[in-house]
Amino acid sequence: MRYWISALLVLLLAIVGWQWQQPATEKIHFQTQAITKGDIESVVNTAGTTRAVVTVEVGTEVSGLITELLVDFNDDVTQGQLIAKLDDRTYVAKLRQSEADVVMAKASLAQQKANLQKAETDLNKTARAYQRQQELMARKLTNQTDLDNALADYENAQAQITLAKAQISSAEAQLLQREAQLDQAKLDLDRTQIRSPVNGTVIDRQVDIGQTVAASLSAPTLFTIAQDLRQMQIEADVDEADIGKLTEGQNVRFQVDAYPNRQFLGAVSQVRKAATNVSNVVTYKVIIDAPNQQQLLLPGMTANVNVIRGQQADVLRVPNAALRFRPAGTGATRSIQTAPDMAAELIKTLNLTGDKASSVRKLFTDFNKAQQQARSNTSNNPMADMRQQMQQLRQKLGNDLQMVLSETEFQRYSELSAQRRSNRQGAPADLGTAAQVWVLDDKQQPQLVNIRVGLSNDEYSELLSGNLQLDDKVIVRAVRVD
C-alpha cells in the first residue's frame, strides 16, 4: 500500500513539474503609426569645401631678393596693381649692357654699309680701267697681260660688293639679335615688379621682405588672390549611388560650422563626369554655386550640403518604418514583374539576338532573384532599408548591362529606365513606386495593403495611391510579449 502511495505522489510531482517547465504562450504585439498629412522634402546629403570661383596664384618668372611688399592678407587689389618688388640692380645692369650691345650692332651695321659704298666705288674704278684696256687692246696699244690684270681687278671689285652685302646682312641680323636681347632685358626688369593679374582679395602671402625667391623650372608662388569672394562655390563629393539623383539647377541648402544656426542657399551648377576611386569608393565632383554677398563664407570652410530633389506640401505621408515592416514568415508576397518585362522590352526594342539577348535575359533574371532574396532576407528585419538595397541592385544591373551592350544600346536602355523612373524624381507622379504596408484586420492580425509612394525623406514617404486614408494605422514593428 505504501508503495502505491509513493508511486502516486511521484507521478503527481512529475506532472506538476512538467507543466511548470512548459513556456508560456508567446503573443505578438503590433505597434502602429497613423497615416498623417504634411510636407515632404527629398534631399541628397553630402559635404564639400567652399572655394572662390577663380583663385589665382601669383608667382615670379625671375629670381631675386624681395625688397618691398605692398599688400598683405585680406587686402583688396585691382588688376595691374603693384603688389611687390624684387631687387632690380642685376637686371638694370643687364639692361644697360643690352643697350650698349645694340649701339655696337648699329655701329657695325653702319661700318658695313660704308664698306659697301667703298666697294661700289672701287667697282666703278676697275670697270673704267678694264674698259680702257679693252679699247687700247683693240688699237694694239697694250699687251694681253695688262688687259688680264684689269679684268682681274674688275672681278675682284665685284666680289667685294657681294662680300660687303653679306656683311651688311650679318650686321643687320646681329642688330636684331641685340634688340631682342634688349627687349628681354627690359621684360626681365619689368618682371621685378610683381603686379596683380586680376581684381580680387589677397587670401594668402607666402613671402616676406628680405626673402630670396628662385625661379627655375616652375614659378614660386608669392601670393594667392581670390578674384571675387562675393561669389563662392562648393566642391562636394557625391557617392555613385546618389549621383544619378542630381541634375544641374537643383536648389541646395547648406550650413557651415562657423554659422551653425544659419542656412545658406545655392544651386547645382555642374555635375562632373570624372570619377574618383579611393579604397574602392567611387565619388563624383559636384559644383554648387553659393552667393556670398555678405562675405560670411570664407575659402576652405566645410559645408554640410542638402541637395533638394523635390518638395511636396500637404500630402498624405506613410512612415518609412511601415514600408520596411514584414510579418515573420511571410517572405516575399509578390513577384517582381518589372525586371522580366524590362528584359523582354529591351530585347525587342534593341533587336537583340543570340548570345547578347541570352546575356541580357540572364542579367535580368539574376536581378529578379536578387530582389526576391533581398525581400525575403528583410522580412524578419524591420530595421533593414529595403529601398536602399533595391537601389544598389539596380546600380549593379546597370553596370553589368554596360559591359554587355554597346554604347548606343546602353543609351537606349537608360532612356527606357528613365521613363519608368520619371515619376520618382520629384515631378508630379501618377504611378510612383510600388510598395507594401500592413494593417490590422478585425481579428488584430496583419493584413497586406499594396500602395504606391512618391517622394521620401528620412521619416516619411508620399502616399500616392492605395486603400489608405488619413489617420489609418499601419504596422511599423512587432514586439514579442509573454
Task: State how far the Cα of 239 lies from the Cα of 244, in Å rounded to an integer.
Answer: 9
Task: State how far the Cα of 227 lies from the Cα of 52, in Å rounded to an integer.
Answer: 7
> Treating both helix axes as pointing N-terminal to C-terminal, what angle do 354-377 and 386-404 enclose, rounded to 10 degrees?
170
Q: Which segments within 53-191 are labelled E, that is strand?
A: 55-59, 64-69, 76-77, 82-86
Q: Which residue, 393, 349, 351, 404, is CA-closest to 369?
A: 393
Say what the pLDDT of residue 359 is.
82
Average pLDDT over residues 462-469: 84
Query: What's the grid cell of residue 347?
Result: 530585347
Task: State how far the Cα of 225 lies from the Cα of 293, in Å rounded to an integer.
Answer: 18
Say what the pLDDT of residue 339 is.
41
Say what the pLDDT of residue 2 is.
56
pLDDT tier at 338 (50, 70, 90 boundaries)? very low
Q: Which segments within 394-444 are labelled E, that is strand?
A: 433-440
Average pLDDT over residues 85-98: 93
| Residue 252 reports pLDDT greater than 50 | yes
- Residue that is written with C-alpha cell 559591359 in the block: 403
User: Chain-wide mean pLDDT for the chain?
Assistant: 82
Query: What's the grid cell of residue 198?
Result: 586680376
Say what the pLDDT of residue 242 is.
86
The least confident of 175-184, 233-242, 308-317, 361-370 is 361-370
| Residue 21 reports pLDDT greater than 70 | no
pLDDT tier at 136 (50, 70, 90 boundaries)? confident
Average pLDDT over residues 392-400: 79
**Burial group, residue 266, by CB count within 10 angstroms (0-12, 13-18, 19+):** buried
pLDDT tier at 334 (50, 70, 90 boundaries)? very low
Q: Report CA 178 to chain centroid distance, whole Å.
A: 48
Task: State how far the Cα of 352 lies from the Cα of 347, in Å rounded to an integer.
Answer: 5
- Residue-wise pLDDT for 193-217, tens only, equals 999 999 999 999 999 998 989 877 6
Say what the pLDDT of residue 425 is.
47
Average pLDDT over residues 288-308: 92
Task: State how far the Cα of 473 lies from the Cα of 321, in Å rounded to an integer.
Answer: 12
Query: What's the grid cell of residue 206?
Result: 607666402
The least confident of 12-26, 153-167, 461-475 is 12-26
Cα angle value 455/373/330 (rounded, 5°):
85
| Residue 293 reports pLDDT greater than 80 | yes
pLDDT tier at 386 (50, 70, 90 boundaries)? low
- Residue-wise pLDDT for 427-448, tens only, equals 444 566 788 888 888 888 888 8
In the DSSP assignment, the letter for residue 226 is E
CA dist 454 → 223, 238, 451 (Å): 51, 23, 10
